[in-house]
Structure 1
Amino acid sequence: MSLLRRIWSRITRPTQFVGTDLEGNRFYEYPSTTDDSRRTKRVVKYAKGRDMLHYIAGERRLPVQWMSWLTHTRFHPPTVQELQADLERQRRVLLNAAIIEARDREERARQQIQGPQETSILDNGAQSSTEAVTQGQAASGPPNPVLKSEPSIQQTQSSLPQDSAKAQMPASPWRRPSGAMDEPQPWSPSSVRRGGG
C-alpha cells in the first residue's frame, strides 16, 4: 500500500484506540461502514509475541468483559480497575474451591478410616430389619413389590381418625379414579350456528 493511500485511509476511517487488557492486548473501534452508526467495527490486536492461535486453541483467553464489548453485548469498554477486580475474584474462587476440596478429601479419608466399624454396625442393623421383613412376608404370602410401602400407610390411617387421615394424606396421582375408562371415545363435534337468521 502506498504512503498516500495509507494517509487517505487514516483520514477517511480514523481508528479509535479504546483500551488494553491486563495481558497487553489492545482494542480498537472503527466507525461504521454502513448506514447504522451504532454498529461499529471492534477489533483486538494481540500483544507482541502472541498470536491469535493461542487464543483460538484455548491456551489463553481474552477477558469476558472485553469479549462482550467486542461482540457488542456491552456498550462501554471495561476499565483496568474492573479487570483487576475480576482477576482478584477469580483468585478468591480458586482458593475457596481448593479449601473445600481439601476439606472433602479429609472427610473422605476420615470416613474410610471409620468406615469398616460403621458398616459392620449398619450391616447388623440391616440384617435384623431384613429378617423381620422376610418373616412378615412369609406369614402374609408372596411378596408384592408394588404394595411394599402400603402397609405402613394403612397402619397410620387406621391409627388416625378417618377425617384427619383424609385431610393429611394427599391423593395419589397414580391412583385411578373410580369409574374412569381408559378406552378412547369417538369424537362427535357439535354444530355451530352462524349468521343472524
Structure 2
Amino acid sequence: MDRISRKVPLILRLYHFYFSLRSVPFRKKWFLGYDLEGNSYWEFQLSKSLPKRRMVKQLHKTGMDFQLNPRWLQWLRFTRKDPPKIEELVAEEERIKRVKYLAHEINEKHKKLESAP
C-alpha cells in the first residue's frame, strides 16, 4: 500500500475507502482496488435485473493510450472472479524485471561468445 500512498492523495484514498463499503444501502457503485499506477477499478450495477459492470478510472488523464495490467484486464473482462491484490501485482512486476535481467545477461553472454575467435 506504500506505493499507492505515494501516488494517490489521502483525500482520494478516503473517498475510495468510503465507496468500498458494501454495507451502505442503495449504493450502485463500489471501489474494488488500485493498480501500481494508482488507477482505480470499480464495479457498478444499474439495476438488480442487469448484470454488474466493471470499469477503470485513470489517476492522471493522459488520453486513451495507457497500459492496463493483465491481471486487472482479466478482472475487467470477467475472466477472473476476484480483483488482484497489490502484493500479487508487485510480485508480477518483480518477476518481469527478473526475466528481463536474465534475458539481458544471456544476450551479453552470446555476444561475448560470438566475438571470441
2:63 corresponds to 1:86: no
Percent identity (aligned): 31
**1:80 offset after TM fit, Å?**
0.4
Aligned residue in 1 for 2:35? 21
- Whether the 8 Å CA contact 2:41–2:54 is kept in 1: the answer is yes
Structure with greater strand share of residues: 2
- Unaligned ranges ≥5, structure 1: 1-10, 56-60, 114-197
Aligned residue in 1 for 2:9? none
- Whether the 8 Å CA contact 2:35–2:89 is kept in 1: the answer is yes
- Whether the 8 Å CA contact 2:28–2:46 is kept in 1: the answer is no
4+ residue stretches of structure 1 with deviation over 6 A?
none
Corresponding letter in the other structure for 1:44: V
CA distance in 2, matches of 1:22, 1:35: 34
2:60 corresponds to 1:48: yes
Question: What secondary structure does 1:54 align onto?
Answer: coil
Change (3 A) 1:105 1:14: same
Trace 1:26-37 onto structure 2 (pairs within 5 A): 26-31=40-45, 33=47, 35=49
Higher relative contact order (CA 8 A, sep 6+): 2
Aligned residue in 1 for 2:19? none
Question: What secondary structure does 2:54 align onto?
Answer: strand
Cα RMSD of the aligned pairs, angstroms, is 1.9
**1:40 offset after TM fit, Å?**
1.3
Among 67, 75, 83, the residue aligned to 2:81: 75
Larger radius of gyration between Structure 1 and Structure 2: 1
**1:66 offset after TM fit, Å?**
0.2
- Whether the 8 Å CA contact 2:28–2:44 is kept in 1: the answer is yes
Structure with greater helix share of residues: 1
TM-score (norm 1): 0.44
2:117 corresponds to 1:106: no
Aligned length: 93
Aligned residue in 1 for 2:14? none
